[in-house]
Amino acid sequence: MTKIRLRNVLFNILAIITVIAVAFVLFNVFSGAKGYAVTSGSMAGTLNRGDVVFSRKADFDDIRPGDVVTFRSADSTGYFTHRVVSIDAQEKKITTKGDANPTEDPLPSDADQVVGKMWYSVPLLGYISILVAGMTATKALIIFASAAVVLIAVNLVIDRVKKKTDKSRGDSNE
């Protein structure tokens, strides 16, 4: 009885987590938000390492000083997210600064480097991406294999306990 209850509880927990995760993913997909894992501390206080910043596409005219904006690097190999300090509307250049940095960034960004304006952020979620990115294929394989072995072992133990319980129940019934 207790075992069945435990399984039901686990099933319900799995169901709740799955529903929340799916709803969260769908919410971002349909609202056009794109997530970026924060890997550095230059925006500490607003965005910490390990946070995920969700940015939504924004036109140059929608950007105001004080907005936190995600930019594509000049060679399109990466992204950075900083706060807008000033905007040169004529030259279409945006000057930015990290909240934790003492001075403004050395070069302004072009308007076409803007990929989105920060909508909201979620703490710690970015560690999934950071951990996976820092993993070698071998390390990832070992972790997945270890997790599989642990799950199989847990399943075996549960089955053995179940068989033992059933057997002792049968013996007592006889």
Residues that bind another protein (CB under 8 A): 4, 7, 11, 14-15, 17-18, 21-22, 24-25, 34-44, 49, 52-53, 70, 73-75, 77-82, 96, 98, 100-103, 105-107, 125-126, 128-134
Our CB check for another protein shows the closer of 79 and 87 to be 79
Our CB check for another protein shows the closer of 111 and 113 to be 113
- For residue 110, list its beta bridge partners: 93
We find the least distance from the C-beta atom of residue 108 to another protein, in angstroms, to be 10
We find the least distance from the C-beta atom of residue 66 to another protein, in angstroms, to be 17
The two tokens of residue 89 are 């509307």
We find the least distance from the C-beta atom of residue 28 to another protein, in angstroms, to be 9
Place of tokens 């642990």: 150
* Cβ 70 vs Cβ 53: under 8 Å: yes
* Cβ 99 vs Cβ 46: under 8 Å: yes
We find the least distance from the C-beta atom of residue 164 to another protein, in angstroms, to be 18
Our CB check for another protein shows the closer of 63 and 100 to be 100
**What gap in Å lies between CA 22 and CA 27, rounded to an integer?**
8
Q: Of 69, 61, 50, whose CA–CA distance to 118 is shortest?
A: 69
* Cβ 111 vs Cβ 88: under 8 Å: no
Our CB check for another protein shows the closer of 24 and 120 to be 24
Our CB check for another protein shows the closer of 36 and 117 to be 36
We find the least distance from the C-beta atom of residue 167 to another protein, in angstroms, to be 20
CB atoms < 10 A from the CB of 119, how many?
17
